[in-house]
Chains A and B, each alone.
Chain A
């Protein structure tokens, strides 16, 4: 048995498990975005669907209040829980297709970010947060640094600009703008990693320079509109 066959079987078991649970609960419906979402969830974004299954189990164990599928949640295909197991000041947390803390188009935007960027999504989110904290420090803006770093994550910029924290409205102009900027950010990260990994130093430094430039500019700019100072 070859390695690709073993990996294929493992992925197949995960995809079948996710597909059975998601279809059994009925989170998808007959609609373009819902069907496209399911196809991406069991292929390119399978790793995020594994995260969604883990988050789903956490929400069930903590009795976070499973919400029956609605037209809103089915338009993209999402599991929804009423409360966030993290509690405290956290509004909602989305991992893959599982939203804990109530459905809204802000969280729905995160679902599509994971589908579009697949395996790069979570890594980019973490790296963006870390760089924001570092560059806030470097520019001597240390007040409330954890929250300020969070608000400047490219995925959060995108979700705050395009989505709403209550309701399903989407600003498609901002959605496309921040999709482009986030794609640029992910592209620079990939350029950086691939450049240095293949010892193409010029390519690596182009990626590094782009990321540093983006991070400095973002550190000096304010939070997303409507999110305080």
Chain B
């Protein structure tokens, strides 16, 4: 009988507490405007623009600054 009561306590207590924590946290995220998932958090991909050469180009420009061949037209 005691074992049965403990099992009921674990299932009902754990279930209600999980639902409360999960529900309130999701609600708070929703109200604060935070994304619910990592997928939704990813910003929309901006259209690819060709990188422009640095305005004051050095003798050896970095790879990041250099325009990619075949992209810029």
Taking beta carbons and an 8 Å cutoff, which residues of A are in contact with B? 2-5, 7-24, 26, 38-39, 42-44, 46
Q: Are A7 and B25 in contact (CB under 8 A)?
A: yes
> Across the interface, do A19 and B12 meet the contact criterion of CB distance under 8 Å?
yes
The docked-state distance in angstroms from the alpha carbon of A90 to that of B3 is 37
B contact residues around A26 at 8 Å (CB): 2, 5
Contacts of B10 in A (CB 8 A): 16, 19-20
* Given A38-B13, A43-B20: 15 more A-B contacts, CB < 8 Å: A4-B21, A8-B19, A8-B23, A11-B17, A11-B22, A15-B13, A16-B14, A19-B8, A20-B6, A21-B9, A22-B13, A24-B2, A24-B9, A26-B5, A42-B14
Any A CB within 8 A of the CB of B66: no
| Cα distance A5–B19 in the bound complex, in angstroms | 10
The answer to whether B20 touches A11, judged by C-beta atoms less than 8 angstroms apart, is yes
**CB-CB < 8 A to A23: which residues of B?**
5-6, 8-9, 13
Q: Are B2 and A14 in contact (CB under 8 A)?
A: no
Contact sample, A vs B, 24 pairs, CB 8 Å cutoff: A3-B29, A4-B22, A8-B19, A8-B21, A8-B23, A9-B18, A11-B21, A12-B18, A15-B13, A15-B15, A15-B17, A16-B9, A16-B10, A17-B13, A19-B10, A19-B12, A19-B13, A19-B14, A19-B17, A23-B6, A23-B8, A26-B2, A42-B16, A44-B20
Contact A2 B37 (CB under 8 A): yes
Q: How far is the CB of B14 from chain A (nearest CB, A)?
A: 3
Q: Which B residues touch A10, using CB under 8 A? A: 21
> Nearest-CB distance from A14 to chain B (Å)?
6
CB distance from A157 to the nearest CB of B (A): 29
Whether the pair B6, A4 counts as a contact (CB closer than 8 A) is no
Residue from B6, B12, B14 within 8 A of A13 (CB atoms) = B14
| Across-interface contacts of B16 in A (CB, < 8 A) | 15, 39, 42-43
Quick check: A42 and B2 within 8 Å, CB to CB? no
Instruction: Choose one: A4, A11, A43; the contact of B26 (CB below 8 Å).
Output: A4
| Residues of chain A contacted by B22 (CB below 8 angstroms) | 4-5, 7-8, 11
Once the chains bind, are B9 and A19 in contact (CB under 8 Å)? yes
**Cβ of B22 to closest chain A Cβ, rounded Å:** 3
